[in-house]
Amino acid sequence: MSSGETNAARRLWVVSELYYPEETSTGYYLTRIAEGLAEDFDVKVICGQPTYSARGTVAPKHEVHKGVEIFRAAGTTLDKNVIPFRLLNMVTLGLSILFKALAKFQRGDRVLVVTTPPSMPFVIALASLTKGAAYTLVIHDNYPEILVATEKTTGGSLLFKAMTFFNRWLYKHASKVIVVGRDMRELVAKKTKGLDVPIATIPNWAELESVSPQDRSENALLQELGLTDKINFLYAGNMGHPNDLSTIVDAADLLRDRSDVHFIFLGAGVKRKWLEKRVAELDLTNVTILDPRPRSEQLVFLNACDVALVSLVGKMVGVSMPSRTYNILAAGKPILALAEHGSEVSRVVEEDNAGWVVPPGDPTLFAETVREIVRQRADLPSMGRSARASALEKYSLETALEKYRREL
């Protein structure tokens, strides 16, 4: 970058509903991207108030944190798990961010906007085109395909067709599209055919500075739960519509005769109540459900297992990539994934010999795979080492930041 470029030409806006002090997935990743690029760009952020893990915290409307200037827009912060409240949050925050973006963006600015919530990119596209800024989309979830996968609509519905039409407009005017998985790139390439939009793949990363393998015998959570003598399978993370929990629970029912196998669920989300009810109905003593724990405790809870679980419902190829996968790799844990062939999570697990992949919706095969894992228990440390090596070699923060620098 030549020294003659002005600050305006080097200015980068990062726009996200969630940002520091929010530590939920999207907030965490966008915060680290902004802070990591602060030495290369004049980075400024427009975001909302915390509504997830830091809900209840009232952050300053304007502050500078780790070299990044933050402007927080007003908006309702109602319970996101109630659909009408979530929609109201989306509308009020979207309007507030639109006005702030129109006031702050300048011609020549670069803008990085994440597609969560799905209305945000359209708000920022409108502001960017009005003010002469260039926006880059970071796609964490592909819409409307995720609505089909979670059975909220169908591929032939008016909603699907409308969202597809407006997405074409969004992609057409973007300077670039960044996706977090290879399967997502393939899907977006089909969706943007004929538009000649550059597409880059930049996976999210493992928190190698805070997550590492820990001796199982020293794990405080397993000791607290009295599960040190079990072969433990851990699901840790969001329990949302895209996550296949029913296959795991039904498999646990099939495995109730195995006193050496135990399943731990740790997290929250719209499926949490269903999970609790289903486990109680089946009277599953081989399942423990725990409340979510802060990101700062990942070292403990990600190591509280022999095998970690990652799950997606069907029709999710190209739609999303569970970011927790990378921290599981960092913890040196083999992965048992419920995922379709060709999905990014299946590629990561299979390419690096880091675990097993079972198609979603097949509890019998899932249970058989668990039994096979138990028989191959002696191989788990080797697979764990492969997982850790994969995180170190491919999924570091600096690797991701270097790709962002190059693309921006």
Domain of residue 292, CATH code: 3.40.50.2000
Task: Spell out the residues 6+ positions from residue 319 whose beta carbon is closer than 8 angstroms to its own.
Answer: 141, 142, 145, 146, 149, 184, 187, 242
Range of the domain at 371: 216-394
326 found inside a domain:
yes
Q: What is the mean pLDDT of the chain?
A: 94
Distances from the Cα of 304 to the Cα of 222, 242, 243, 300, angstroms = 6, 24, 21, 6
pLDDT digits (tens, 9 = 90+) for 389-407: 999 999 999 999 999 999 9
Backbone angles phi, psi at 276, to 5 degrees: -60, -45
Does one domain contain both 148 and 222? no
Parallel, antiparallel, or unpaired for β 68-72 and 62-65?
Answer: antiparallel
Determine the Cα–Cα distance for residues 215 and 198; give it in Å rounded to an integer.
44
Share above pLDDT 90 across residues of the chain, in percent, rounded to a whole number: 88
Long-range contacts of 36-40 (CB under 8 A, 24+ apart): 36/397, 36/398, 36/401, 36/404, 37/12, 37/401, 37/404, 37/405, 37/408, 38/66, 38/67, 38/68, 39/67, 40/1, 40/10, 40/405
Task: Round to whole Å and give the CA distance between 240 and 260.
Answer: 28
Q: Whole-prediction pTM value?
A: 0.93
Do 153 and 229 belong together in one domain? Answer: no
Residues 231 and 319 reside in one and the same domain: yes
In a domain, 259, yes or no: yes
The three-state (H, E, C) secondary structure of 202-268, written as one string: CCCCCCCCCCCCCCHHHCHHHHHHCCCCCEEEEEECCCCCCCCCHHHHHHHHHCCCCCCEEEEEECC
Tell me: do 225 and 195 sit in the same domain. Answer: no
Give me the pLDDT at residue 2, please. 42
Q: Could you give the CA distance from residue 130 to residue 55 in angstroms, rounded to a whole number?
A: 33
Q: Quick one: pLDDT at residue 8? A: 44
For residues 111 and 257, membership in a common domain is answered with no
Question: What's the pLDDT tens digit per position in 352-386?
Answer: 999 999 999 999 999 999 999 999 999 999 999 99
Residues 285 and 401 in one domain: no
Q: How confident is the model at residue 9 (pLDDT cuts 50, 70, 90)?
A: very low
What is the model's pLDDT at position 89?
Answer: 84
Whether residue 227 sits in one domain with residue 193: no
Residue 188: is its pLDDT beyond 90? yes
Instruction: Tell me, yes or no, whether 228 and 136 share the same domain.
Output: no
d(CA 403, CA 408): 9
Q: Are 90 and 116 in contact (CB under 8 A)?
A: no
148: CB partners within 8 A, 6+ apart: 154, 155, 160, 315
pLDDT at 6 over 90: no
Quick one: pLDDT band at residue 53, thresholds 50, 70, 90?
low
Q: What is the pLDDT of residues 303-338, one digit of tens each?
A: 999 999 999 999 999 999 999 999 999 999 999 999
The reply to whether 71 and 200 lie within a common domain is yes
Q: Among 327, 333, 331, 339, which residue's Cα sits nearest to residue 354?
A: 333
Q: What is the pLDDT of residues 267-301, one digit of tens each?
A: 999 999 999 999 999 999 999 999 999 999 999 99
> What token pair was written down for 132?
């002469």
Shared-domain flag, residues 256 and 187:
no
Amino acid at residue number 289: I
Number of domains in the chain: 2
pLDDT by residue (tens digit) across 204-228? 999 999 999 999 989 999 999 999 9
